[in-house]
Amino acid sequence: MNDKLQLPHLDYAALSPMLILFGVACIGVLVEGFVPRRVRHKVQLTLALLGLVAALVMVIRQSSTAVITAHTAVAVDGPGLFLSGAIIVLGIVSLLLIGERTLEPGGAFVAQAAITANTDRDREQALRAHGSTEVFPLTMFALGGMLLFCTANDLLTMFVALEVFSLPLYLLCALARRRRLLSQEAAMKYFLLGSFASAFFLFGIALVYGFAGQVDFKAIDTAVQASANDDILLYVGLAMLAIGLLFKAAAVPFHVWTPDVYQGAPTPITALMAACTKVAAFGGLLRLVYVGFKGTEWTIQPVLGTVAVITMIIGAILAVTQTDIKRLLAYSSIANAGYLLVGVLALNEQGLSSSMFYLVAYGFTVLAAFGVVTLVRDADGEATHLSRWAGLGRRSPLYASLFTFILLAFAGLPLTSGFTAKFGVFAAAIDGHQTWLVIAGVVSSAILAFPYLRVVVMMWLSEPGETTPAVSIPGAMTAAALVIGAVATLVLGVAPGALLEVTQNAGAFLR
């Protein structure tokens, strides 16, 4: 792939996927101002889906080239294109959940977020008003920022991309139609903690610049290997950069926002964050570790390895104690961040490819999981307390079977994508002489299987109670999201060869 490297310039074709998404987001803002409300939802949804499909087409067209463009700020290489394509595909599935309006009038989003929560006007709009359509341009801005984040070739571009996709997510978390105070609390926590993480990241950029005199990754790597400057600037700067990235990845001890935000945010937005944000966060971390700071691997591995072990163990143990399905999935996401760190820290080609495979496999599975959560509801909205899921297998055996399959995939059962993904990152870690991480991962997986199996037993072996909710019939878009997520989880477990080949052929990062 490196033989096709072009001289740095502004290559609009290479930048076209993110430019399309940003353009669609801007058009969506205009739609909010000029299109009548009665048709606005259909226009916004159609526009967003067409934009994502067009961006995916451009990613596929660029798959045979590699270029550093925008004056060395963006590297459109194999891993960057693969992760961009993954974000777009997962974004399409997320958008199907976001666009659903049949489960309750107006959908999952409040019509006017400025109305004070729990007032008469708020209760009235929850029953009658159309849902907010601003979610579509906000989602497109977030996805465009994620694409830029995965392909950023210097620290300043990475910081700008981080803010571009973070700010819309802060807003989206506060737009839940039901339980608005919980939603607003989640958004405030996410915003405040995210601001601190961004500040650490920016301060880290300043310290690394003080060490290397540059912010692009190639210059930083050269300085790491040859600079006579004080290493303290390098290592403190790298630690601060890692804090910003590990916050987005939901790794311990930077995970405290995750359960509250996952629980309080509208479930479609939770699904978007669990799938797409994790791809973006680890895409940035992979580029940081494999390109900019490759010469510091003897320092990175023990420190981030310790973070990975703590993340896996804490995520698994705290998942056992949860009584809310969304919080359980949040701690599952935390543990999975630890498994992904195992692949990242292999620091070899197998670690890179297996991490990318894991991100895609986990993304489809978690989207299907939250899709099922949106269906289990009563008159007050989604029923997320685990006690409400008792006997669900007798009320709705089809969707209980689907959720059982998803939980078994999370647990790493053979013939599911979860097994293939974990096997890949663990094998890469062993090949990279990180066996201690694999041992911790296996122990964590065994612990994490308990809360999954507890939910399965509760659904199938408990009698339905008076408070056991019904499972709503999904609309076409939710049904499509569930089918896509379930089929991908099965196919990537039974026949993962095609995607594994794509990840292996994605090549190396441009330097």
Task: Give the tens place of pLDDT for each residue, 330-351.
Answer: 999 999 999 999 999 998 899 9
> How confident is the model at residue 341, as a pLDDT?
95
- What gap in Å lies between CA 368 and CA 364, rounded to an integer? 6
Structure tokens at 196: 């601190």
> 377, 372, 395, 357: which is closest to 491 by C-alpha?
357
Higher pLDDT, 508 or 260: 260
Residue 67 DSSP symbol = E
Residue 2 has pLDDT above 70, yes or no: no
> How confident is the model at residue 72, as a pLDDT?
83
Task: Give the tens place of pLDDT for each residue, 107-161.
Answer: 778 877 777 777 777 777 766 667 778 999 999 999 999 999 999 999 999 999 9
- What gap in Å lies between CA 64 and CA 212, rounded to an integer? 32
- What gap in Å lies between CA 51 and CA 182, rounded to an integer? 32
Question: What is the rounded average pLDDT of the residues 158-176?
Answer: 93
Residue 507 carries which side chain, given as an amino acid letter? G
Cβ contact 478:409 at 8 Å? no
Cβ contact 85:52 at 8 Å? no
Strand partners, 75: 68
Question: What is the rounded average pLDDT of the residues 317-334?
Answer: 94
Question: What is the rounded average pLDDT of the residues 435-449?
Answer: 94
Sheet holding 74-76, edge to edge: 6-9, 67-69, 74-76
- What gap in Å lies between CA 503 and CA 251, rounded to an integer? 24
Work out the angle at residue 230's Cα, subtended by the Cα atoms of residues 224 and 236, and round it to the nearest 5 degrees: 80
Work out the angle at residue 482's Cα, subtended by the Cα atoms of residues 175 and 468, and round it to the nearest 5 degrees: 75
Percent of the chain whose pLDDT exceeds 90? 62
> 265, 239, 241: which is closest to 185 by C-alpha?
265
Task: Give the tens place of pLDDT for each residue, 365-376.
Answer: 999 999 999 998
Question: What is the rounded average pLDDT of the residues 38-52?
Answer: 92
Confidence of residue 1 (pLDDT cuts 50, 70, 90): very low
> How confident is the model at residue 4, as a pLDDT?
53
> How confident is the model at residue 229, as a pLDDT?
74
Evaluate the CA torsion angle 381, 385, 391, 397 in order and state its sign.
positive
> How confident is the model at residue 11, as a pLDDT?
81
End-to-end CA distance of the chain: 12
Question: What is the rounded average pLDDT of the residues 5-32?
Answer: 84
Residue in the block written with tokens 């991100």: 359
Residue 269 has pLDDT above 90, yes or no: yes
**Pairing mode, strands 67-69 and 6-9:** parallel
Structure tokens at 140: 């497109």
Which helix (H) or strand (E) element contains residue 377? strand 376-378
- CA–centroid distance for 233 within its chain: 31
Cβ contact 153:74 at 8 Å? yes
Cβ contact 335:444 at 8 Å? yes
Q: How far is CA 54 from CA 60, 139, 422, 480, in A?
A: 10, 16, 32, 20
